[in-house]
Chains A and B, each alone.
Chain A
Amino acid sequence: MEPASAKLIGAGLAAIGAGMAAIGVGNVFGSFLESALRNPGAADGQQGRLFIGFAAAELLGLLSFVVAMILIFVA
């Protein structure tokens, strides 16, 4: 396989990571809403933790974007 096409295939494979991070982020907010609707009084106090979980899940998806960008534009 030519290196140029291998790079593009690798960048495409890195997009799987973005989709996986989408599952993760959806899971964070989904679980939060599910429990926030059960106990709305406690929901506001947990928003900090909500965004920490969101940030952790999102970072891993962004890393796969970085991998794709490096493969396309740098490597």
Chain B
Amino acid sequence: MAEAGKVDPMHQFTIEPMFGTDHWEIAGYSIPFTNSALWMAITTVALFLFVWGGMKRQLVPGRWQMAVESMTSFVDNLLAANVGPAGKKYVPYIFSLFMFILFANVLGLLPLMLVGVHPFTFTSHFSATGVLAIMSFAIVLIVGFWRHGFHFFSLFVPHGTPLWLIWLIPVIELVSFLVRPFSLALRLFVAMMAGHVLLEVLSSFVIDSMNSGALWGTVVGLPSFLLMIAICALEILVAGIQAYVFALLTSLYLNDAENLH
């Protein structure tokens, strides 16, 4: 779509092989080490360092330990409120999920272009968020069938369903159940992509208006630039909210699997 000289808002999502690994392949499938994989690795390392720095187990916690402990107790409270006592065993999974998505979102927002590094938000790709959603959905299915057997299907017939609606409610419940992984993955990926596209479009306003003279630069470029700063703040908020919503919805689905309705 984009002509030469225009800012292409979708270019930032391009997946490129890095470090000359573009000829790597297994059984005919190309598996290069991409920028997406690189940023997943960076996110993992950053998360590891963050948690490792807070594992000193001091009786009087320092700042770092306090930060890590407040995150774990946040996830702990989330599961206790939504799943109950049975949710305790899911704290490691939900904590990893929440922190991984949060770190990925925030790392993708860092203005590293100033030092020449292009930050890549891999949560703005459906393939990455889809795998996270499938993991959550698979855990729900495994736990549900493990604990309740075929009684798990009673999830599709809520308590108090009138008899004359017994042909309709299970169909609706089944559809809403099967749509869960898609809505989980789609929400995160679109929210991150929309924010980055918006920032890129606004930056193209600034650049193009500056190029067409001082008058347009002041009338269009300056307000766009101020709006961009505000949107950046909003994006940090969205990064946190989307990670929280992903963890919250996963814990709600786990509640269905653990306690049925």
Interface set of A (CB-CB < 8 Å, partner B)? 45, 48, 51-52, 54-55, 58-59, 62-63, 65-66, 69, 72-73
Contacts and interface: CB of A to CB of B under 8 A. Distances in A.
Contacts of A45: 81
Nearest to B190: A62
A63 B245 CA distance: 17
A65 B183 contact: no
18 contacts: A51-B244, A52-B252, A54-B241, A54-B245, A55-B249, A58-B191, A59-B183, A59-B186, A62-B186, A62-B190, A62-B194, A63-B190, A65-B190, A66-B190, A69-B193, A72-B1, A73-B1, A73-B10
B241 A51 contact: yes
Contact of B248 (A51, A63, A65, A66): A51
Interface in B174-225: 183, 186-187, 190-191, 193-194, 197
B82 interface: yes
Contact of A55 (B81, B187, B193): B187
B251 to A, nearest CB: 9
Contacts of A58: 187, 191
B1 A65 contact: no
Nearest to B78: A48
Given A58-B191, A63-B186, 5 more contacts: A48-B82, A51-B248, A55-B245, A55-B248, A69-B197
A62 B81 contact: no
A32 to B, nearest CB: 14
A51 B81 CA distance: 14
Nearest to B82: A48
A72 B244 CA distance: 30
Contacts of B187: 55, 58-59, 62
Nearest to A64: B190
Interface in B77-112: 78, 81-82
Contacts of A48: 78, 81-82, 248
Nearest to B245: A55
Nearest to B197: A69
A60 B176 CA distance: 14
B202 to A, nearest CB: 16
